[in-house]
Structure formats: C-alpha cells, structure tokens
C-alpha cells in the first residue's frame, strides 16, 4: 500500500499559487485516473489502485505549516510504512520546473515538510521536489510562494505535470527505486 501526499493550502484563494504545486499535481493525477477526493476533518483523500498496487492520495487541509498533523493522523490509521509514502511539494531552491527526487533528508527550509518531519519524528521518506524558482527580493518569500503562476510558468507547469504524474505512477507501482530508475531513463536525473 502506498501513500502520496501533496502539500498546499486549502481554498480558492491559493488554488494556482506556487506553494500549491503538491495539490495541483495530485488533482491532475486524480483527474487522469477518474478519482474523486473525499473530505475528512484535517485532509482530503482518495483511494485507488494501479495495476496490483493499492494507494491513497492525501491533501492536508490544515494549511501548509501544519501539514504534519494530517499526515500523522492518516499514517496512524492506515499503518503505511514511511518508505511507501511520497511527499510532493514546491521548492524555491530549484529553478522553475526542475524536478528532483530524494529518498530522505532535511526539510530544506520548507515549513510543510518541517511539520511532517516533526510530527513523524523521522525524515526517512521519499520526496518529489518541484522547483518554483526564487525570483523575489529579501523579505518577500511569503508573497512570492503565495502568488499565482505567470502565463509562461503555467505552460511549463502543464508540461512538467505529465512527467510528475508518470513518476508518481512508478512510485505506486514499485516504490522509490522504480521511480528513480524511470527518472534516470528519461535523462532528467540531476545528481546533487
């Protein structure tokens, strides 16, 4: 059983903002696979299957900085191993549209990821980091990540969304290794 967590903020106000890349990718994945999210107190989720793998998609509705509350609640109930959980989120440390995969690691300054790590007491879970760039002046990060995409960025986002969905599908079919193998085959793996 696999879990894919997309990070973002709930509500129309945040729908197509940079900080909501995780929600955007999960919404597009659900659309492709004809899945409908259901609402619980702290999250929206949907269950599905891909080939012989059962999976859940999870969007915390606790707002970004408290994402770990929803993730811990869900994991406690469904008893999913951390290596079978993929967290999808925006990353200002990567150029716009750049995708990086990590098996574990620090929060990299991302408050949603920090909340998950703190609530779970572990940073040993895979992530898909989607670059949103960092074209902002000092002290303007919050405004930048909560701003809407430009038209050019939307075009790049659409193109990169399809590849991101393929990566998520590979994760659900065979975990981190299958996903990274697929990533490498597409010549997109940028080693750190």
For residue 190, what pLDDT band results from cuts at 50, 70 and 90?
Answer: very low
Indicate which residue of 7, 8, 18, 19 is catalytic: 19
Which of 82, 146, 135, 91 is CA-nearest to residue 113? 91
HSE of 54, CA atoms in CB hemisphere, 13 A: 4
For residue 187, what pLDDT band results from cuts at 50, 70 and 90?
Answer: low
- Using an 8 Å Cβ cutoff, are 86 and 171 in contact? yes
Residue 21, domain member (yes or no) = yes
Write the pLDDT tens digit of every residue in 41-87.
Answer: 999 999 999 989 999 999 999 999 999 999 999 999 999 999 999 99
Residue 190, domain member (yes or no) = no
**C-alpha distances in Å from residue 122, one per residue of 65, 70, 152:** 17, 15, 37
Residue 116, domain member (yes or no) = yes
Write the pLDDT tens digit of every residue in 111-124.
Answer: 999 999 999 999 99
Residue 26, domain member (yes or no) = yes
Is pLDDT of 105 > 50? yes
For residue 90, the cross-strand partners are 130
Helix ranges restricted to H, the chain: 21-32, 67-78, 111-120, 141-145, 151-185
Write the pLDDT tens digit of every residue in 150-159.
Answer: 999 999 999 9
Residue 157, domain member (yes or no) = yes
Containing structural domain, residue 87: 2-185
**Measured distance CA(80)–CA(166) in Å, rounded:** 22
- What's the CATH code of the domain at 66? 3.40.50.1470
Residue 39, domain member (yes or no) = yes
Residue 191, domain member (yes or no) = no
- Per the annotation, the verdict on 110 as an active-site residue is no
Provide the domain count of the chain: 1
């Amino acid at each position: 059983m696999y879990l894919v967590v997309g990070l973002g903020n709930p509500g129309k106000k945040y729908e197509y903002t940079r900080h909501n890349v995780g929600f955007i990718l999960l919404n597009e994945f659900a659309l492709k696979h004809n899945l409908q999210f259901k609402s619980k107190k702290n999250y929206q989720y949907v269950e599905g299957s891909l080939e012989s793998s059962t999976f859940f998609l999870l969007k915390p509705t606790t707002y970004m900085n408290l994402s770990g509350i929803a993730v811990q609640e869900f994991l406690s109930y469904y008893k999913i191993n951390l290596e079978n959980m993929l967290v999808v989120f925006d990353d200002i440390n990567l150029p716009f549209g750049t995708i990086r995969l990590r098996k574990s690691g620090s929060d990299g300054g991302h408050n949603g990821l920090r909340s998950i790590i703190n609530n779970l007491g572990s940073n040993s879970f895979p992530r898909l980091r989607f670059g949103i760039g960092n074209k902002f002046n000092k002290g303007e990060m919050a405004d930048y990540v909560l701003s809407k995409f430009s038209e050019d960025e939307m075009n790049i986002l659409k193109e990169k969304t399809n590849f991101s969905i393929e990566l998520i599908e590979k994760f659900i079919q065979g975990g981190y290794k299958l996903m990274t193998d697929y990533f490498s085959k597409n010549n997109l793996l940028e080693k750190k």
